[in-house]
Amino acid sequence: MKYMTAILSCLSMLSLHGAPMKLYTLGTGAGSPTMTRDNSCTFLQTSKYAYLIDAGCHVSSKIIRKGLDFNDIKAVFITHMHEDHFGGLTSFLKNRMHKYSPYTRPGKWKGFWPEIWMPDADGIKAFDMLMNVQLRGEGKEKIIWKLIKPGPFYDDGHLKVTAIPNKHFKVNDEYLPSYCFLFEVEGKKIFFTGDLRNDLSDLPIDAAKDADLILCEFTHYVLSRHYDIFQKLNPGKLVFNHVAKRNEILFSDFKKVIKYPAFIANDGDVFEIK
């Protein structure tokens, strides 16, 4: 009986934590798409829900072609209001609200609509108007807009997210909202840098270091100038996305210096978080 209880307890742990979380780098390009890279969008699959970090073009087709399920997505987090990070959002909303609703795919319905977390209230207003034009009011209540504030801002009992402002987005001497995200889920830490300044002075080393996985942008700085920062970060795994050719060329030298596993993501790659 004692053994049976122990086995049942192990099985229930396995069903919760058995499969490692998976990070799908659906779009890994920077600025404009290339022949092989679409714009930023990353899909985190946990044991319970999925989450989307940025929704650049062509997020919907990437989700469909990878065989992922729109209905798993509990929340979308947009790092900043540059088009390469939100350009696929209206298509995502249309597909999530219509094609994957309890009416059209009852077998797939998981019982919730996703929250769309935006960094800027003007962005919410603009998308809300656009969706009004597209949907003419139909199903509008299904789109749950939320505004990101610096600090811990999201907790669904499974995932906690903290927003740390960075200095990537500057217009006329004014810094506009732009965030790094720290995800805490299933006992793991995942850090998303979002886009950064070109000297990496806004990369919050203390918040990011020792994360199980860091997803770091790879465009707005010269890789060879910042080995000291990457040595301090010391994550379980470093994945570069938002990829620029210039840094791709510098990567093989970087790999010789850095002691932990590091990768350049391609569209459609999957990274396990164990």
From residue 151 to residue 190, what is the string marking binding to Zn ion with x (rule CB under 5 A)? Answer: ----------------------------------------
Q: Within 13 Å of residue 202, how many CA atoms lie on the same side as its CB?
A: 23
Segment lying near Zn ion (by CB under 5 A), choices 16-24, 75-83, 201-209, 261-269: 75-83
- Asked if 195 touches Zn ion (CB under 5 A), the answer is yes
Cis before 58 (ω within 30): yes
> Residue 56 Cβ, how far from Zn ion at the closest point, in Å?
8
Identity of residue 88: G
> Residue 169 Cβ, how far from Zn ion at the closest point, in Å?
6
Judged by CB, which is closer to Zn ion: 39, or 45? Answer: 39
> Residue 161 Cβ, how far from Zn ion at the closest point, in Å?
19
Q: Please give the Cα distance from 96 to 113 (Å, whole number).
A: 8
Q: Please give the Cα distance from 192 to 184 (Å, whole number).
A: 11
- Asked if 202 touches Zn ion (CB under 5 A), the answer is no
Strand order in the sheet with 179-185: 151-155, 159-165, 179-185, 188-192, 213-218, 238-243, 262-264
- Asked if 82 touches Zn ion (CB under 5 A), the answer is yes
Segment lying near Zn ion (by CB under 5 A), choices 61-69, 82-90, 198-206, 230-238: 82-90
Question: Of 35, 25, 96, 97, which Cα lies nearest the Cα of 56?
Answer: 25
- Asked if 212 touches Zn ion (CB under 5 A), the answer is no
- Token readout for 118 is 């935006």
> Residue 147 Cβ, how far from Zn ion at the closest point, in Å?
19
- Asked if 84 touches Zn ion (CB under 5 A), the answer is yes
- Asked if 54 touches Zn ion (CB under 5 A), the answer is no
- Token readout for 156 is 């669904």
Judged by CB, which is closer to Zn ion: 120, or 195? Answer: 195
- Token readout for 256 is 């010789």
Judged by CB, which is closer to Zn ion: 72, or 195? Answer: 195
* CA end-to-end span of the chain: 32
Q: Please give the Cα distance from 160 to 51 (Å, whole number).
A: 12
Judged by CB, which is closer to Zn ion: 80, or 237? Answer: 80
- Token readout for 260 is 């932990």
Segment lying near Zn ion (by CB under 5 A), choices 41-49, 79-87, 99-107, 251-259: 79-87
| Residues of this chain that bind Zn ion (CB under 5 A) | 82, 84, 195
